[in-house]
Structure 1
Amino acid sequence: MTTLDASELILNGDGSIYHLNLVPEELAPTVITVGDPDRVSEVSKHFESVEVRKGKREFITHTGWCNGKRLSVISTGIGTDNIDIVLNELDALVNIDFNTRTVKKNKTSLNIIRIGTTGSIQNELKVDSMLANNYAIGLDGLLHYYQSEAVQEHDFQDAFSAQINWPSTHPKPYIITADKELLAIFKDADLHLGITATNVGFYGPQSRVLRLPLNNSALIDSLSSFHHKGQKITNLEMETSGIYGLSKLLGHKAVSLNSVVANRANGTVSEDPKLAMKKLIVFALHKISKI
């Protein structure tokens, strides 16, 4: 049995995992991830009780009880680079023995639900809508650092490559599915279903122009016109592909829920994004009670 070096599994002086600052017993089996640290309290204020409030840098965690279930809500910050930290450390908390620094024989599978914001690239997906993603197209490159071929959707990727003139200077896109069982729990008439493109940045990578000219000015048009087996890309955000990919590799279940705060197709923005996010939080917590 391999013992992990101190430089690989980095623990704080109190025995907590390095970035999340948590010890194993402080993590619940169902984890809600949010990007914004301030959104953690917006979720946990619906809990009947909160037993853990900890944080380090942008990673804030509240663990408590909601509708009879023990839940943790954790802020990830923005981007799949942060997701790489959060997902690996969540897994370490449940599947590595911190005392012996060895991987446990019997693995624990977490339920991971992202509650985030997104921008629509389809005219019909209006602002303030709620959206779940059954696929994530990773434009960020994260999963290529891992042995991930087995979890990638190769037929879907081939269709993407055939339709999109993807620049050779950009990371190779990869496509990952949500966990189908977990996604089914959130099925609802008020919840749209679609494919997200996870981008590596907010401005150039999502074709926003302030002062810098773009290398691929047709990106949004190319993505919005893509279709495969009756499905099309509905939205852009910055975390889902990393959550889906690492969850599948590590044996966890994941789904991404989104509040649509902008529509790039018609240039509109939500007039009250906080109210729309509150609606999504209440919806998600109700559905989570059925897990």
Structure 2
Amino acid sequence: MSDEPDSPPCPVPALAEADLPIDANGRIYHLQITPEQLAPDILLVGDPGRAEFIARSFLRDLEVEREHRGLVTATGTYYATGDRATIISPVRATVATSGMGTPSLEIVVNELVALNEIDFATRKPKPLFPRLHIIRVGTSGGLQASTRLGTSIITTYALGMDNTGLFYETPCPDQTCARLERELAAVVEKAARPDSRFRGKIHSYVSRAEPAVVRALTQAAKNLGVAAKAGLTVSNSGFFASQGRDISRLRPSAPDLDRVFSEFDPGLGEQRVENMEMEASFLLHFLGGLGHWAGAICPAIANRRDNTFDHEYLAAIEGATRTALAALAALTTSRDFAL
């Protein structure tokens, strides 16, 4: 052992203005809110109109409601009503728009985390900050014929067919993720056209929803009488070819991916690959890697096996929203500080 005294820790440099743009009013660039205007309990939705609907229908005492570049962000208080509700105290919550797809979501969740973790006065990381609880409430296409339209799918694992998560290094949260990544590499390669220039180049990454969030969503759905089931979610890089829709004059490199995933057995008991959407993979990958808790609940408003569509899907979205808010309320009792 050395007798030399320990060296003082190196000072943490401030984040550059080009890396973290903050305006003259102390607001982050895209969301245009300040750190004080963010609650640690967050609902994330793709549609800005849905963010406005949730803010005005479910939140009271609105502290802020901001729209910038198509991104709506609002913070207020949720008060549970109804005989079947199990919430004891009000919950301060933020609802934010993620936009469509993981590239847009990557911007939004980075800013949400920065608002929570960075001291905007010094532009340096805070030594301590609360763990975020973020739940995505979206819509999705159901992949199993046995899943009724309007059923809320509670994501356990997300199969990322986008590539946004590949730019953020974090280990697999468990062996199931590592196994599924290996198995899906072979499944997707087999699904590709033999003559495709991209055969063997399309790889998925697998992320896991925080188990405590899955349990809270499952219990909240049961308490509220919302039809829900847990299963795996495919997050695609787009809406058409990557989800098995062939409407362009260009051939898809991997046809019928919706059927391919519906037939895949993930080896998780009764769980199946239940739905397709475009955001859950990166949300779970990024936030899980940082020690924050994330989950997703997305009603199946179309059934890809039956080619049916739920024209009354707004009722299903409302049920999923109530479920997510109830789950956030239950999770506040176990909030800790993120690592």
Q: Which residue of 2 aligns with 1:181?
A: 212
Note the alpha carbon deviations across 1:37-80, whole angstroms, 9 max, x for none.
Answer: 01112212222321111121121111001121100000111000
SS of corresponding position for 1:149 = coil
RMSD in angstroms over aligned alpha carbons?
1.6
- On the 8 A contact 2:145/2:305 being kept in 1, the answer is yes
Task: Return the match for 1:160 from 184, 202, 205.
Answer: 184
TM-score w.r.t. length of structure 1: 0.95
SS of corresponding position for 2:15 = coil
Per mean C-alpha deviation after superposition, the further-off stretch among 272-281 and 107-116 is 272-281
CA distance 1:64–1:201, shift in 2 (3 Å): same
Q: Which runs of 5+ in 2 are unaligned?
A: 1-11, 80-89, 193-197, 332-339
Note the alpha carbon deviations across 1:107-131, whole angstroms, 9 max, x for none.
Answer: 4310001100000111011211111
Task: Return the match for 1:238 from 269, 278, 283.
Answer: 278
Task: Return the match for 1:217 from 234, 250, 255.
Answer: 255
- On the 8 A contact 1:140/1:171 being kept in 2, the answer is no
TM-score w.r.t. length of structure 2: 0.82
Note the alpha carbon deviations across 1:228-269, whole angstroms, 9 max, x for none.
Answer: 223321110000001101111222100100111100011000
Counterparts of residues 13-92 of structure 1 (less than 5 Å): 13-44=24-55, 45-67=57-79, 68-92=90-114
CA distance in structure 1 between the partners assigned to 2:248 and 2:39 by the alignment: 44
CA distance 1:171–1:13, shift in 2 (3 Å): farther
Task: Return the match for 2:266 from 228, 231, 253.
Answer: 228
Count of matched residue pairs: 291
Query: Which is greater in Rg?
Result: 2
AA aligned to 2:299 is S
AA aligned to 2:285 is G
CA distance in structure 2 between the partners assigned to 1:129 and 1:150 by the alignment: 29
Counterparts of residues 103-118 of structure 1 (less than 5 Å): 103-118=125-140
Note the alpha carbon deviations across 1:149-202, whole angstroms, 9 max, x for none.
Answer: 344721221222344426545542000110011111111443211100100000
CA distance 1:262–1:70, shift in 2 (3 Å): same
Q: More strand by proportion, 1 or 2?
A: 1
- On the 8 A contact 1:141/1:171 being kept in 2, the answer is no
AA aligned to 1:194 is G
Q: Which residue of 2 aligns with 1:130?
A: 152
Q: Percent of aligned pairs with the same residue?
A: 29
SS of corresponding position for 2:122 = coil
- On the 8 A contact 1:151/1:245 being kept in 2, the answer is no
Per mean C-alpha deviation after superposition, the further-off stretch among 60-69 and 226-235 is 226-235
- On the 8 A contact 1:16/1:23 being kept in 2, the answer is yes
